[in-house]
């Protein structure tokens, strides 16, 4: 039965590691958020691009983020179910999060959850009903198993250098992008799914623009913001959903 004692949190696009100083202030804010989650938190949904890049090898993972991993492991150890949806910046996750941290990694572009009698359609949002051919091409290239194996054959330090450069270039190229939800691919996707089945809440990230609107045919669409702009998250109590967040970090 729905109850205010249930707590579910949703966060996206933290982009840990971004910035000239590696985003230390951003990381501290994110760790503070994780440690602030109450004991009764049932689930935490990490909706992609939590890291500005993530390239994982069998025996090597990127350095840093120790306090983040510690906070996530602590949540998982106390019984909170943590879901990690792969984003376009941190897609190359294999088994480190699941084996070392107890986190469930979600490979699908979206997944539907039944939570306290409500239906949620949740994902990162980068590949849903995308009309731009360049974005579709990048999506398929970055998820191509042969290309991934080929790139991982490159020396690790060169691979990390490439990944950092790609992330910075992508961020710079989108600096002047202005998102408008009306007529957007993500809204069209929500409308299409909503016509097929009943969904109460659609929650995505990726667009770096906090948005809330009704979906034609039923349901509500929420888009989470970039943490460099506003350290925000959504909270579902079991009876209702609300947008919350920390003050602007100005980084």
Phi, psi of 15 (to 5 degrees): 55, 55
Look up residue 249 and give its two tokens. Answer: 């970090």
**Those residues with Cβ within 8 angstroms of residue 144's Cβ, 6 or more apart along the chain or in another chain:** none
Which residues of the chain fall below pLDDT 50?
Answer: 1-3, 246-251
Predicted pLDDT of residue 58: 79
DSSP E strands in 143-251: the ranges are 201-204, 211-214, 220-223, 232-236, 241-245
How far is the C-alpha of 17 from the C-alpha of 138, rounded, in Å? 22
Residue-wise pLDDT for 99-136, tens only, equals 999 999 999 999 999 999 999 999 999 877 666 666 66
> Is 124 in contact with 204 (CB distance < 8 Å)?
yes
Query: Across the chain, which distance is largest between two alpha carbons, in Å?
Result: 53
User: If we measure between CA atoms, which residue out of 4, 1, 13 comes closest to residue 38?
Assistant: 4
> How far apart are alpha carbons 175 and 109 in whole angstroms?
24
pLDDT for residue 1: 33
For domain 7-245, the CATH class is alpha beta
Would you state the pLDDT for residue 174? 60
pLDDT value of position 250:
35
Instruction: At 117, list the tokens.
Output: 């009698």
Q: Where are the domains of the chain?
A: 7-245
Short-list 30, 6, 35, CA closest to 18: 30
Count CB atoms within 10 A of the CB of residue 117: 10
- Nearest 5°: the CA angle 140, 143, 144 is 80
pLDDT at 151: 74
In this prediction, residue 80 carries a pLDDT of: 97
């Amino acid at each position: 039965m729905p109850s205010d004692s249930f707590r579910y949190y949703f966060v996206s696009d933290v982009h840990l590691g971004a910035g000239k100083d590696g985003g230390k202030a951003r990381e501290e804010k994110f760790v503070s958020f994780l440690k602030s989650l109450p004991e009764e938190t049932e689930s935490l949904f990490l909706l992609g691009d939590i890291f500005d890049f993530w390239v994982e090898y069998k025996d090597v993972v990127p350095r840093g983020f120790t306090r983040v991993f510690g906070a996530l492991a602590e949540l998982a150890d106390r019984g909170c179910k943590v879901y990690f949806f792969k984003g376009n910046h941190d897609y190359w996750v294999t088994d480190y999060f699941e084996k070392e941290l107890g986190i469930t990694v979600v490979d699908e572009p979206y997944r539907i959850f039944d939570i306290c009698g409500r239906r949620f359609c949740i994902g990162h949002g980068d590949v849903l009903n995308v009309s731009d051919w360049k974005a579709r091409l990048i999506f398929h290239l970055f998820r191509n198993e042969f290309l991934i194996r080929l790139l991982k054959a490159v020396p690790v330090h060169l691979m990390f250098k490439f990944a950092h450069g790609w992330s910075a270039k992508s961020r710079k190229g989108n600096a002047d992008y202005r998102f408008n939800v009306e007529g957007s691919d993500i809204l069209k996707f929500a409308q299409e799914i909503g016509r097929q089945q009943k969904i109460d809440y659609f929650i995505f990230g990726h667009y770096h623009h906090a948005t809330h609107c009704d979906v034609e045919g039923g349901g509500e669409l929420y888009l989470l913001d970039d943490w460099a702009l506003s350290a925000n998250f959504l909270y579902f109590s079991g009876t209702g959903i609300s947008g919350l967040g920390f003050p602007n970090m100005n980084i």
